[in-house]
Structures are given as C-alpha cells and as structure tokens.
A and B are shown apart, each in its own frame.
Chain A
C-alpha cells in the first residue's frame, strides 16, 4: 500500500487531503491567496502562522462553510470544494471550533450523541416510532458516545450540562463530539487556546493516540512548543500564502518563518541602535 516516495514522515504516506491553488477573497482582502499544501494519511499535521494568516479560513474552506473562489480541494482523491458542510461531514471530515461551540442546554452525553448522528444507523421515522431496532441502535450509539467520552476522559461527567464545565473540559467534549461521526480527518482549530501547558499536552497526547488508532489530524495551533512536540509535519502560512512546509523543526528554522513571527533581523538591529 505504501507509496515509494514516502519519506521518513509517519503515516501511510498516501495523501489524504490536498489543497491546490486555493483562493478565497472577502471583498478586496485575500484571506487565502493561492495556497497549495497536502496532509498525509495517518499524520498529525500542524497548520501554523501568525494571527490573520488565514488558518481558520482554510479550515472553513475544507469543511464547506465557505467555497473557494478558485483552486480545488481533494479529499481521498475526490474534489470536495463544492460540497455542502453536511456532505463534507458525511465523507469523513469533522472539526472543532476556535471558540468552543457546544449546544446550549445539552448534557455532555447529548452533545456527543448529536455528533454520532451520521452513524445512527436508523431512520428518523423508525426512531420516532420507537421500533425495537431503533431502540437497539440507540443503545449502541449511546454506548459508542460513552466510549468516546471515556477516550477524552469525560465519561464521569456525561450527565452534566456541558455549559457548566470548565473551558478545557468543554474542548475535550467538543473533540469527542467531532469523533462521533467516525471521521477520517479531524480538524482541530486551536484546540489548546486558553489552556495551561499541562492541559495542552493532554490534548497533544490525545492527538497522538487518535493518530495511532488510524485518524489523520490537521490542527491549527499557536503553541509552538506543542507543534514541535506533537506534530509530525506542518504547513506555515502568512498573509494567506504558504511560507514553509515540512517537519516542525525544519519549518521553525526557516528564515521566512522566523521573520513572520519575530520580525526582520535588520529591523531588530536598527531598533537596538536607536535605543
């Protein structure tokens, strides 16, 4: 199965997600200006870049919230840039949000059950009638949801109202919800924002566990320590364009990346001389 050109990077080496020349403009602003990059199956891939680089826009383009003005997005070999969000979810891409977006009024378990909608295995009609088959499938789905909650360490909070949990806990529930549909690709949009380093590394380890069980993960991340420690490969963006690609260590050494994050060396020296 392995492609011959597979380098030392983890995963099967097959490209799961491929963006080619993707352009998205909002009015006159080019949020994404011709981005091409790819994510290999079975890897944890970081999408990094300074604020306003267009990272979340890329996530929104992949999940069908926006459609690219031009360029194409391939998932598992199929063009997906014109599909609706619900169709994108059905082919195996799910996501979390930069600002946690759980449903108000639902318990932790209900959130995850909602995420399991695609694998419910029963029609809405049968579920309405309460047919024995529907009941059995419901029990099965419920068990699956509990299993996912166990995976993120939230099983003992299953019956609590999700909005009463702490921010970090809500993020974990959101990940469990995203896993509900048995995705192939999981997009995490800043999964550790607002977390301390201990909580953040819990998320990092969870990402590794999920990868090891066959999932591919694309995560937008600001925490460089986390990226170098947990991402296998990464894409660095700035002003909607590709800046660097490769292993995190190589990316961070790239002078363009340093400049995007820390400013120009010559500028720094000039400031030093002024002060």
Chain B
C-alpha cells in the first residue's frame, strides 16, 4: 500500500496531466477525423476554463455544474467559428484557427474583469483525479460510440474525399460542423479540467503549450481511431518524466526525437486501424506454417 502511495506521489501529477491533455487531443481528433486541422481547441479551452473558474469563484458553482457549463460554452463558440470558417480551404482553415489563438490571448490579456488579465486568476476549486477519470471515460465513450456509428463511417469518407462523399448524398459541411461542435464541447471541458487542476490560470495557460501538446498527442497516438488521441496524450505526457528518471539530460530532446520517429515510421500514429487491417491481410496471404513442416525454413 505504501509503495502505491509512493508511486502516486511520484507520478500522480503526470497521470492527471495526461488526462487533461487527453481532452485536448480528443478535441483535436474530433475535427481531424473529418479532415479539418484546427488549433481552435485552445480557444475553446480558454473559454471553458475562464468561464468555469469565474463561476466557481463568484457563484460557488459546484464542479458538476461548472463542467457542463464549460462544455456548452465551448460548443457554442465552436458553432459560431464553424459557421464562419468552415468555408475555408483546409490549410487556410488551419492558419485562421492559429490566428484566432493569438487573438484570444490578446483579448484575454485585455479583459482583466473576465480573465484576471496579466495577473491571472486563482481557481478556488480542485477536481480530483477520480472526477477527471470519470469525465475522460465519458468523453472516450462518446468517441467510441461515434466511431462505431454511421457518423464514424461517413466521417472517414468526408476526411478522405469530401467531393466523392457528397456525390453519395453525404453533406460534408454539415458533418464537419457537427465535428466542430463536438470538438468545442470536449475542448471546453478540457479547459475547465486544466483550470481545476492547476488552480491558477492566466492567458498564458491557454496558449501555444496546449496547441503543441494536443497536436503531438494526435500525431503520436493517431487520428484514425478514438483510442489514438488518448494513448498519444498519455505517451506524450509521461515520456519526459520517464526518460528523466533514466537520462536526466535528454528530457527535452526525447520529446522531439520520439515525435520525429513516429512521424517517419508510423505517420498515421500508434493506433491505426488501416495498418492493423493490412497486417491481417498479409497474414492471410502468407501461407501459415503447417504442423510437421516446422523444420523447413
């Protein structure tokens, strides 16, 4: 029992941050899986985070109300953004969302009433690891169901070839809109989770750091399966701490090296249903070793 507690003392915060990062990675995955690269997750996180923090600070809102509020706010923001930006071509969409992240920071810095401005905001509440785990479980369940429903199938169609999908009666824009709203909801929850973990937030909290870890999470884990972003976020968060235990000097390098290795050798991430299917197909076509023939190489 003591050993477990020791372990938790050493790695507990890593686990918690891995869970928080998983929300951001899932939010990015939601739009990536319909073929849209967007950094707007950072914006949704900021909205969710500041709203949840203010609700708790001013109205003593309990967490089980603050989280849904953050989710709704993120979803609404996403709906507005999607209506405005979805008509852009994919790379312009990515750039526009990046610009939005920069704008969000400036706005947040200049609205001290809402965000605490440069001084930041103390968050008088903390989410327990168990609460975060339950929330993440719920989010993952939603993505699991999406993946195994009609939405998952036509998402892949829209992602791979929206023009072809549309000639089959699938409305690509509407599917992307829905995905964006889901991304906003999960991003908002992630932002609140971060606020209730750090217990101190400022405009700096919701900036490039989140953008980096959410993209890294989806690249590492893969954006073709609901499990990918969760695995990616865990690996990306745990890697520095683990490596540090063995070779303290290369902590920062390790992150970059692992990302590069994955991009070169597993461009579709650690969890890739297509690769699994290819492997299965190869096993089928290569003749299985027959009993009694083991000696023959």
Contact = CB atoms under 8 A, between A and B. Distances in A.
B150 interface: yes
B168 A89 contact: yes
Interface string B122-164: 0000000000000000000000011001110110110011011
A54 B157 CA distance: 28
A164 B279 CA distance: 12
A226 interface: no
Interface string A78-90: 0000001110111
* Contact residues of B: prevailing secondary structure: helix
Given A114-B153, A128-B145, A101 B170 contact: no
Given A120-B150, A124-B151, A160-B281, A103 B167 contact: no
Interface in A140-177: 160-161, 164, 177
B156 A117 contact: no
A65 interface: yes
A74 interface: no
Given A107-B277, A160-B281, A88 B150 contact: no
Q: Which 7 residue pairs are nearest across A and B when measured between Cβ atoms?
A: A89-B169, A85-B166, A105-B274, A118-B169, A127-B149, A127-B150, A103-B160
Interface of A: 63-65, 84-86, 88-90, 94-95, 97, 101, 103-107, 110, 113-115, 117-118, 120, 122, 124, 127-130, 134, 138, 160-161, 164, 177-178, 180-181
A124 B150 CA distance: 6
9 contacts: A85-B163, A86-B169, A104-B160, A115-B168, A118-B168, A118-B169, A120-B150, A161-B274, A164-B278
B168 A106 contact: no
B168 A130 contact: no
Contacts of B165: 114
Contact of B274 (A63, A85, A104, A117): A104
B250 to A, nearest CB: 35
A161 B278 contact: yes
Nearest to B170: A117
B161 A101 contact: yes
Contacts, number: 92
Contacts of B156: 103, 105-106, 110, 114
Contacts of A160: 277, 281
Contacts of B146: 128
A115 B153 CA distance: 10
B281 A122 contact: no
Report which residue of B150, B171, B224, B278 has the largest number of chain A beta carbons within 10 angstroms of its beta carbon: B150
Nearest to B150: A127
Contact of A177 (B160, B168, B224, B277): B168
Nearest to A103: B160
B248 interface: no
Interface string B236-274: 000000000000000000000000000000000000011
Contact of B149 (A86, A89, A128): A128
A124 B160 CA distance: 20
Given A89-B169, A94-B168, A95-B167, A114 B274 contact: no
Nearest to B172: A86
Contact of A103 (B149, B150, B164): B164
Given A86-B169, A114-B154, 10 more contacts: A85-B167, A89-B167, A89-B168, A103-B161, A103-B164, A114-B156, A117-B169, A124-B151, A127-B150, A164-B281
A209 to B, nearest CB: 22
Nearest to B268: A105
Contacts of B163: 65, 85
A124 B169 CA distance: 14
Given A113-B153, A128-B145, A65 B167 contact: yes
A134 B224 CA distance: 24
Nearest to A89: B169
Contacts of A89: 166-169
Which of B154, B161, B167, B273 neighbours the largest number of chain A CB atoms within 10 Å of its CB? B167
B150 A122 contact: yes
A202 to B, nearest CB: 24
Given A103-B161, A104-B160, A105-B160, A94 B274 contact: no
